């Protein structure tokens, strides 16, 4: 969806990295089958994390083999194949991408509107297939999307409220990973905090752009940031960063509590890397303005 | 309606159970019964007191029977608008919406430390951590010696300083691989040390 949830590669062992990459490539192949060739372009690291959590919670082992693909025509890549754990993340991602694009059509700039509309058309078949398989998830996300538009129109200054719809979407996505009721609520809380992290990080990433365009961004409404338009002063930006750090740390602290309670066994080292190092690393990059929006969904 | 709080007259809290109310009433009646004050100059006072007790008892029982366990007299010094024990139970059972509605019905000028703590707990259950941290902080400031409020507040402070449960087990060292500069790590450590000191009654950083 955004690409913020990713491993910090320098601290992955080679075997962990290979599994991570094989799941990424396996998802891409699965998308071609399940939601159409065009959907492969929407592949993100967030999905890889969702797939890995799915496999960890349901204890699904992976089998991988070397395969060719259009993106890497020369060297064969390790791909996870024949894995039930890949199916739900592909459907969930198709639904999430659909609503993200519809949001772009509704309130993006002229260029964004055009691109979003074209992309939506190209992906509509895959989305419809996914909706058919996960009607409940689709409903929940549609409902939260409506609330998000409502809160944006209200220009709410409360960050917790602004986060709520995104967080609830992720809550819905993650709670469906298990059939066990207790686990569902724990996974839901885990997903909720992850959604908060994504929202806050994205808001910080967009804060300068939103200031220029006059778009709603809750971070522009905190104390100490002038209500007038124009460039953000560096003092104001520092204030926003401090505010975000506080909010992200609170969120990650709670995320870690849920993660420990879930106590997954498989893929633990890679999941630990993402939760304890990867998320903080991405936030640091965003803070320094070094997180490239264009490259973030590319594999390397 | 009396001008005094009926619960105060019987010397009980609004959280008291029906049995406790009856017991308190019986004791009060024994104490002020007119038979005890025959040929006593205090008999008139005792009679007045007795009437007050009866009235208070009737009022409480009527209120409970009609199902309204919240009321507002508007006299100063009391804020028994909502039964906080019941709100606590609602939060524990996960009934956050009702708990929040009851809390919001308390007028702003009679919100005490417990109110802020419970409001924080409601926010926390919802995952609204920023608001929860704010309310816990207020509760802990209003009643600095309450261990419950302090524990909640310290936990939020620890998390907002960058603490993550379980991170110690990853790569062996706490926050060793955090991608920040060493200075911010030192600050975090100091903040946590400060929290710990405050828990023990001391203070490492006097300003926070």
Average pLDDT over residues A115-129: 92
Are A108 and A216 in contact by the 8 Å Cβ rule? The answer is no
Q: Does B171 touch chain A (CB under 8 A)?
A: yes
CATH architecture of B6-65: Orthogonal Bundle (1.10)
CA atoms within 13 Å, Cβ hemisphere of A138: 13
> ipTM value of the model?
0.89
Q: Report the 3 state secondary structure along chain B.
A: CCCCCHHHHHCCCCCCCHHHHHHHHHHHHHHHCHHHHCCCCCHHHHHHHHHHHHHHHHHHHHHHHCCCCCCCCCCCCCCCCCCHHHHHHHHHHCCHHHHHHHHHCCCHHHCCHHHHHHHHHHHHHHCCHHHHHHHHHHHHHHCCCCHHHHHHHHHHHHHHCCCCCCHHHCCCCCCCCCCCCHHHHHHHHHHHHHHHHHHCCCCCCCCC
3-class SS string, A228-291 = CCCCCCHHHHHHHHHHHHHHHHHHHHHHHHHHHHHCCCCCHHHHHHHHHHHHHHHHHHHHCCCC
Contact (CB<8Å) B127/A11: no
Cβ density class A84-115: b for 16+ within 10 Å, e for less: ebbebbbbbbbbbbbbbbebbbeebeeeeeee
Q: Given an 8 Å threshold on Cβ–Cβ distance, is B159 in contact with A273?
A: no
Domain ranges of chain A: 9-287
pLDDT of residue A232: 87
| Interchain contact A17–B (C-beta under 8 A) | no
Note the pLDDT of residue A200: 97
Q: Which two tokens stand for residue B12?
A: 């009980």
Contact yes or no for B102/B119 (Cβ under 8 A)? no
pLDDT digits (tens, 9 = 90+) for A47-102: 999 999 999 999 999 999 999 888 888 889 999 998 999 999 999 999 999 999 99
Q: Would you state the pLDDT for residue A290?
A: 85
CATH code assigned to A9-287? 1.10.600.10
The single-letter DSSP state of residue A2 is -
Task: Supply A33's token pair.
Answer: 């089958």
Q: How many CB atoms lie within 10 A of CB A6?
A: 21
Q: CB distance from B208 to chain A under 8 Å? A: no
Give the pLDDT of residue A286: 94
Between A and B, how many residue pairs show a Cβ–Cβ distance under 8 A?
77
- Minimal Cβ distance to B133: which of A193, A196, A250: A250
Report pLDDT digits (tens) over A7-52: 999 999 999 999 999 999 999 999 999 999 999 999 999 999 999 9
Determine the pLDDT at residue B36: 72
Q: Please tell me what DSSP assigns to residue A181.
A: H
- Determine the residue of chain B that is closest to A270 in CA distance: B170
DSSP state letter for A58: T
B187 interface with A at CB cutoff 8 Å: no
* Any B CB within 8 A of A156 CB: no
Q: For residue B160, which residues of chain A lie inside 8 Å, CB to CB? A: 246, 249-250, 253
B152 contacts on A by Cβ (under 8 Å):
none
Q: How far apart are CA B162 and CA A250, in angstroms?
A: 8
Nearest CB to B131: which of A160, A277, A281?
A160
pLDDT by residue (tens digit) across B26-35?
A: 887 777 776 7
- pLDDT at position B178, please? 45
Two tokens at A135? Answer: 């009607």
Cα distances from A223 to residues A35, A212, A233, B120, in angstroms, run: 45, 19, 14, 21
Residue with the larger pLDDT of the pair A226 and B168: A226
Could you read off the pLDDT of A162-203 as tens digits, one per residue? 999 999 999 999 999 999 999 999 999 999 999 999 999 999
Separation between Cα atoms, residue A63 and residue B46, nearest integer Å: 88
Sign of dihedral through CA atoms B152, B156, B161, B165? Answer: positive
| Contact at CB, B165 and A253, closer than 8 angstroms | yes
Q: Do A196 and B127 touch (CB under 8 A)?
A: yes
Q: Is A6 on the interface with B (CB under 8 A)?
A: no
A192 close contact with B: CB closer than 8 A: yes
Q: State the Cα–Cα distance between residues B42 and B116, nearest whole angstrom.
A: 45
What is the predicted pLDDT for the residue at B68?
A: 46
Give the separation between CA A5 and CA B159, rounded to whole angstroms. Answer: 20
Neighbours of A48 (CB within 10 A): 27
- Chain A residues with beta carbon closer than 8 angstroms to that of B164: 252-253, 255-256, 275-276
How many whole angstroms separate alpha carbon A61 and alpha carbon A48?
Answer: 15
Burial A65-79 (b: 16+ CB within 10 A, else e): eeeeeeeeeeeebbb
Output phi, psi for A258, to 5 deg: -65, -40
Q: Which of A157, A160, A258 to mutate to test the interface with B (most CBs of B within 10 A)?
A: A160
Contacts of A122 (CB under 8 A, 6+ apart): A38
**Under-50 pLDDT residues of chain B:** 1-2, 68-79, 173-187, 208
Instruction: For chain A, give the mean pLDDT.
Output: 91
- The reply to whether A252 touches chain B by the CB within 8 Å rule is yes
Mean pLDDT of A201-222: 91
What is the DSSP pairing of strand A72-80 with strand A64-69? antiparallel
Residue A153 CB contacts under 8 Å (≥ 6 apart), including other chains? none
Tokens of A68: 């060719």
Which pLDDT score, from 0 to 100, does residue B80 have? 54
Alpha-helical segments (H) within chain A: 14-35, 45-57, 87-107, 110-133, 135-154, 159-175, 181-213, 234-262, 268-272, 279-287
């Amino acid at each position: 969806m955004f690409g913020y949830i990713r491993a910090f590669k320098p601290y992955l062992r080679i075997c962990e990295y290979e599994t991570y990459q094989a799941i990424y490539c396996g998802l891409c192949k699965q998308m071609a089958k399940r939601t159409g060739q065009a959907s492969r372009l929407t592949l993100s690291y967030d999905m890889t994390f969702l797939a890995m959590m799915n496999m960890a919670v349901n204890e699904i082992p992976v089998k991988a083999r070397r395969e060719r693909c259009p993106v890497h025509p020369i060297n064969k890549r390790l791909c996870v194949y024949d894995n039930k754990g890949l199916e739900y993340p592909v459907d969930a991602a198709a639904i999430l991408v659909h609503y993200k694009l519809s949001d772009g059509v509704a309130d993006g700039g002229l260029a964004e509107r055009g691109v979003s509309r074209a992309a939506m058309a190209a992906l509509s078949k895959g989305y419809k297939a996914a909706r058919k398989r996960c009607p409940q998830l689709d409903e929940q996300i549609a409902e939260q999307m409506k609330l998000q538009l409502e809160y944006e129109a209200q220009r709410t200054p409360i960050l917790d409220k602004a986060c709520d719809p995104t967080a609830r979407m992720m809550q819905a996505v993650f709670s469906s990973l298990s059939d066990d009721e207790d686990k569902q609520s724990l996974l839901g809380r885990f997903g909720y905090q992850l959604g908060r992290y994504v929202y806050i990080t994205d808001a910080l990433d967009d804060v300068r752009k939103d200031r220029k365009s006059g778009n709603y961004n809750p971070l522009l409404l905190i104390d100490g940031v002038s209500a007038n338009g124009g460039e953000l002063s560096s003092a104001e930006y520092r204030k926003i960063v401090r505010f975000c750090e506080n909010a992200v740390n609170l969120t990650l602290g709670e995320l870690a509590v849920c993660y420990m309670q879930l106590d997954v066994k498989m893929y633990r080292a890679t999941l630990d890397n993402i939760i304890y190092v990867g998320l903080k690393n991405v936030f640091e990059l965003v803070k320094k303005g070094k997180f490239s929006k264009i490259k973030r969904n590319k594999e390397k | 309606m009396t001008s005094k709080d009926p619960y105060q007259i019987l010397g009980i809290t609004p959280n008291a159970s029906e049995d406790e109310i009856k017991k308190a009433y019986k004791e009060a009646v024994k104490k002020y019964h007119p038979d005890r004050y025959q040929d006593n100059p205090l008999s008139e006072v005792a009679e007045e007191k007795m009437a007050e007790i009866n009235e208070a008892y009737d009022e409480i029982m009527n209120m409970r029977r009609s199902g309204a366990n919240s009321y507002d007299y508007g006299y100063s010094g009391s804020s028994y608008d909502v039964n906080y024990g019941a709100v606590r139970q609602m939060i524990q059972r996960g009934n956050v919406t009702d708990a929040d509605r009851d809390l919001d019905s308390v007028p702003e000028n009679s919100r005490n430390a417990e109110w802020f703590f419970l409001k924080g707990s409601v926010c926390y259950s919802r995952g609204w951590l920023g608001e929860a941290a704010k309310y816990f902080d207020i509760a802990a400031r209003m009643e600095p010696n309450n261990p419950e409020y302090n524990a909640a507040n310290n936990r939020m402070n620890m998390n907002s300083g960058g603490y993550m449960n379980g991170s110690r087990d990853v790569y062996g060292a706490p926050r060793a691989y955090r991608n920040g500069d060493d200075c911010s790590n030192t600050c975090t450590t100091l903040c946590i040390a400060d929290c710990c000191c405050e828990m023990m009654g001391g203070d490492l950083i006097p300003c926070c």
